[in-house]
């Protein structure tokens, strides 16, 4: 049985994205994830960290993590969690169309109008124009589905405190998914209340057990040859002029398309190298050792005395880790060679996964 962990309550968008990915039509250009009769169990978790804990402890077989939104950009805390956890692997992705609904109670008092709308801060921001045009007060909640559940239980009030008995039945509403409304017995007052209909969130589908990388580059090349795939990698470089250009230029020769390039501060790298230095069973096997090639003029990186895992030298203190998505054809030998070259040039290198890419 497949057990998919996600952050939030039943009815959360992450739950719907997981269902979309594992549906018979699949979540990418590849064949369906599972046959129509496959059993799928959904596991809500209170936080993204708890979601990854469920995955790495084998309580769940998969997890659905939102990584970027077409309107708001990259969800950096989730990217950091992904980079900091060597025991997870990306095996798929899906683009989920976010359709916000205004939900209310079915037994609102006669003649009562909505005054306040509760939801996650991102959902409120995506519906700001709609709400402002109707003079509705925004109240931030922990998540969309959680707000829907609280409304169904009569736990929402005008001052944002749960269950204090204030307010009139029908004055509170939430922004959440239609699925959340169905689950918690709420009425869909209006659908599609987002200000921009081009509202998509890209979800990564994860499994436990890191791909792992040595300088031989074991990139999980098991995805069927000839298909459209992505390989996601993370790496750190010496802080010398032209190093990033040289590192990425290898992909121009291979003909691969770099669809995403981001940098994260050394604070994330400290988390990563803590795992690489043995904090966690098997963690060290999933990382290229943080040693620069002395022959290239670089200085070998040494473990920090405070256990942080990296040197406290200034060039390392203000270093960055790069996250790159490479779109290519599965089994492409040129991309494999390019990744090997990048791994050999990097202070730190990790393949996060090779997986069928969503869309063309």
Residue 89 near residue 62, CB atoms below 8 Å: no
- Helix boundaries (H) for the chain: 13-21, 48-56, 76-84, 121-126, 128-133, 144-152, 178-183, 243-254, 266-276, 314-317, 333-345
Q: Is 201 a catalytic residue?
A: yes
**The sheet that has 101-104: what strands, in order across it?**
137-141, 116-120, 172-176, 101-104, 187-191
Q: Is 268 a catalytic residue?
A: no
Helix, strand, or coil (residue 111): coil
Catalytic one of 45, 61, 201, 354: 201
DSSP conformation class of 171: S
Residue 127 near residue 195, CB atoms below 8 Å: yes
Angle, helices 76-84 vs 266-276, to 10°: value is 20
DSSP conformation class of 227: S
Residue entry with tokens 């204030």: 166
Q: How far apart are CA 158 and CA 41, in angstroms?
A: 36
Residues 6+ apart with CB under 8 A from 324: 232, 233, 234, 235, 248, 258, 260, 261, 262
Catalytic one of 48, 203, 251, 287: 203
Q: How far apart are CA 244 and CA 106, in angstroms?
A: 57
Helix, strand, or coil (residue 314): helix
Q: How far apart are CA 265 and CA 286, in angstroms?
A: 20
Indicate the burial class of 138 (C-beta count within 10 angstroms; 0-12, 13-18, 19 or more). Answer: middle
Angle at 59 between CA 13 and CA 52, to 5 degrees: 55
Q: How far apart are CA 44 and CA 24, in angstroms?
A: 22
Give catalytic residues, as residue numbers. 201, 203
């Amino acid at each position: 049985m497949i057990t998919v962990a996600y952050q939030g309550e039943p009815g959360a968008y992450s739950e719907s994205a997981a269902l979309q990915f594992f549906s018979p039509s699949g979540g990418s250009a590849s064949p369906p994830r599972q046959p129509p009769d496959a059993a799928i169990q959904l596991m809500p978790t209170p936080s993204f960290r708890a979601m990854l804990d469920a995955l790495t402890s084998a309580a769940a077989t998969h997890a659905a993590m939102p990584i970027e939104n077409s309107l708001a950009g990259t969800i950096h805390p989730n990217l950091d969690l992904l980079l900091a956890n060597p025991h997870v692997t990306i095996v798929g992705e899906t683009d989920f169309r976010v359709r916000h609904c205004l939900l209310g109670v079915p037994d609102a008092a006669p003649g009562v109008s909505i005054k306040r709308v509760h939801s996650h801060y991102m959902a409120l921001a995506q519906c700001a124009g709609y709400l402002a045009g109707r003079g509705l007060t925004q109240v931030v909640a922990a998540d969309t589905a959680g707000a829907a559940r609280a409304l169904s239980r009569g736990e929402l009030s005008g001052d944002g405190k749960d269950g204090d008995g204030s307010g009139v039945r029908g004055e509170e509403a939430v922004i959440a998914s239609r699925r959340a409304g169905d689950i918690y017995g709420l009425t869909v007052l209006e659908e599609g209340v987002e200000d921009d209909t081009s509202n998509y969130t890209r979800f990564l589908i994860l499994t436990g057990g890191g791909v792992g990388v040595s300088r031989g580059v074991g990139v999980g090349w098991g995805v069927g040859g000839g298909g459209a795939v992505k390989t996601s990698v993370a790496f750190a470089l010496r802080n010398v002029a032209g190093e990033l250009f040289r590192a990425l230029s290898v992909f121009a020769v291979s003909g691969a398309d770099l669809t995403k390039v981001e940098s994260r501060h050394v604070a994330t790298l400290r988390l990563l190298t803590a795992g690489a230095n043995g904090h966690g069973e098997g963690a060290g096997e999933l990382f290229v050792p943080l040693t620069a090639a002395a022959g290239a003029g670089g200085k070998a990186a040494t473990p920090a005395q405070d256990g942080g895992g990296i040197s406290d030298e200034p060039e390392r203190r203000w270093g960055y880790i790069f996250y790159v998505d490479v779109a290519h054809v599965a089994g492409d030998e040129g991309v494999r060679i390019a990744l090997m070259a990048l791994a050999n040039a990097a202070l730190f290198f990790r393949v996060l996964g090779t997986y069928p890419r969503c869309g063309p």
